[in-house]
Amino acid sequence: MKMKWMVTLSLLSLSVTGAIAGTPPSPPAVEVDRATRLEVIDTLIAKLNANYVFPDQAQRVEVVLRQRQREGKYDGITDGKQLAKQLSDDIDGVVHDKHMLVDASARPVPPDDAMPPPPQTRAEWEKQVPPAVLERVRASNLGVEKVDRLSPHIGYLQISSFAPVFLVSDKFAAAMNELADTDGLIIDLRNNGGGGGDSAALLISYFVDERTRLNDSWERSTGITTQYWTQDKLDGKRYGGKKPVLILAGPDTKSAAEAFAYQMQALKRATVIGERTWGGANASRPYRLSEHFVAFIPSRRSISPITHTNWEGVGVTPDVAAKVDDALVAAKDLMQRQLGGGAPRVATDR
């Protein structure tokens, strides 16, 4: 595979540019006929068999899609979005992969070998986005929603997404500089839809004292396993590997946010509090099915060097169970006890 486009679906379909730009006008409907349906289904099955990270499950999906096709389930569908949703639902009925999706696009989908990979630098990104989006991004918090103190000794960091590392690294550095002198930190990921795994790894780097192996990624097309490590050089102050860290999580903690929680938990660097997370671990990339159809197919699998597995389909299990709305109160109580007591200032749940 020539491209190095391997990111989570949340970053692909809810990118920083799209999320901040607001809701665009409704695109024109994509109309489909019999020839288009056949092309989309045949190509989808071929791309799944060639690229899905679990070949045996791809074959199971093929059996189901062919059966639905013989039954005429797709014959009456003439709307592209409806066809895409039906195919996505039928696939989900077999494999339940959170990062698998079929979509219809009003704009033509480029061939696989013509799809540009996501930008790797701010300069590359700025060349690809409209000026209006660029200004909004510059004025945004890039997912770093709140940097606060719940008491003189307890820090609070709320993150709603993991924006591309080349955009958010400055935000992380500023946040960690502000929180560096606290004795304990609560990181709130309860409403974090995910994003870039590199950004999650960057944030983890602030909470270790030495270079640390975080996870491995196995790519089906090459059979190569790549190791991912923390960063040695950071722009902000290192929090270190000793002070207590608590992570708030729940069903709306997704993708890269799950990676952060899972890896910190596996390293025994943090205690996770709340409810079980979303459960999406496999990295996706887009594949063209026809002129107006695309499939996001996971073709890489995350493997923890500690647990030898990941959180796909099961989510991250909290160390301390608590209802999502009660997780911050539980975390503050636990942190106060870990730090030896002390009356925190009054703070409402966030």
Token pair, residue 225, equals: 């396993």
pLDDT in tens, 247-293: 999 999 999 999 999 999 999 999 999 999 999 999 889 999 999 99
| Phi and psi, residue 294, nearest 5° | -140, 145
Secondary structure class of 299 (helix, strand, coil): strand
DSSP tally for the chain: helices H, then strands E = 11, 11
Region 157-167: mean pLDDT is 95
Residue-wise pLDDT for 98-142, tens only, equals 999 999 999 899 998 877 777 888 888 778 777 887 888 877 899
For residue 308, pLDDT beyond 60? yes
Q: Does residue 89 surpass a pLDDT of 50?
A: yes
If you average pLDDT over residues 231-235, what whole number do you get? 95
Q: Closest Cα partner for 216 from 300, 332, 92?
A: 300
Select the CATH number that applies to the domain covering 129-280+315-338 from these four: 3.40.50.10330, 3.40.50.300, 3.40.50.1220, 3.90.226.10: 3.90.226.10
Indicate the domain borders of the chain. 129-280+315-338
